[in-house]
A and B are shown apart, each in its own frame.
Chain A
Amino acid sequence: EAQVTQNPRYLITVTGKKLTVTCSQNMNHEYMSWYRQDPGLGLRQIYYSMNVEVTDKGDVPEGYKVSRKEKRNFPLILESPSPNQTSLYFCASSLVRGLGEQYFGPGTRLTVT
């Protein structure tokens, strides 16, 4: 089954404790992206990757890191989480850049206390 998976689905952590949210897709998509969703603000792009070893900043990259060492995986790293990073995070992938359907993962709800 073609899918995008994220782990964990729910996470409660404390300020400053490094964490990683994993994202994996099995559709051989070149393009992957991370978004955060906050009430009233819609979906905002954090980072995207056009292919292996190619990543770039989206609209809200501060406080986040990403890596793309393999085509299927695109982890999101919060080196020192802060309460303003409490949000719902979605990973997405598509066959070609931002064109065409982006397939979203199930989301990760992160709470930073």
Chain B
Amino acid sequence: GENVEQHPSTLSVQEGDSAVIKCTYSDSASNYFPWYKQELGKRPQLIIDIRSNVGEKKDQRIAVTLNKTAKHFSLHITETQPEDSAVYFCAASSGIGNEKLTFGTGTRLTIIP
């Protein structure tokens, strides 16, 4: 089955700086890669996603890049703000009909004011 590795497990950055979280996946058939944000005590919520026919996608301060050859994808957050502090999960969708979603182990991002 699919295996998703995520690094780093914790990340602290100064407010205003950029943050990068990286994930690798094992199943070359995976073709959908979402990122979820989970604030303390809350449910995970989708912040951005990318499909395998696209190399990069941006949404304001958030961007995701995908390298299919190397089987890795990354989340980039620019101009970080205190409200960006949360746990971020990457995931990869696999299975015959993309029915399975495998998550990484999460990155706790702390923005230092």
Residues B43 and A105 in contact, CB atoms below 8 Å apart: yes
The chain B residue with its CB closest to the CB of A104 is B43
* A42-B104, A42-B105, A99-B32 known, 12 other contacts, Cβ within 8 Å: A40-B9, A43-B91, A43-B103, A44-B103, A45-B101, A58-B100, A90-B43, A97-B97, A99-B93, A102-B46, A104-B45, A107-B43
**Which residues of A are found within 8 Å of B6, using beta-carbon distances?**
42
Name B's interface SS.
strand
Given A42-B106, A90-B43, A107-B43, A102:B101 Cβ within 8 A: yes
**Which residues of B are found within 8 Å of A105, using beta-carbon distances?**
43
**Total CB contacts across the A-B interface at under 8 A:** 61
Q: Within the complex, which residue of B1, B44, B104, B105 is in contact with A104, where a contact is CB–CB below 8 Å?
A: B44
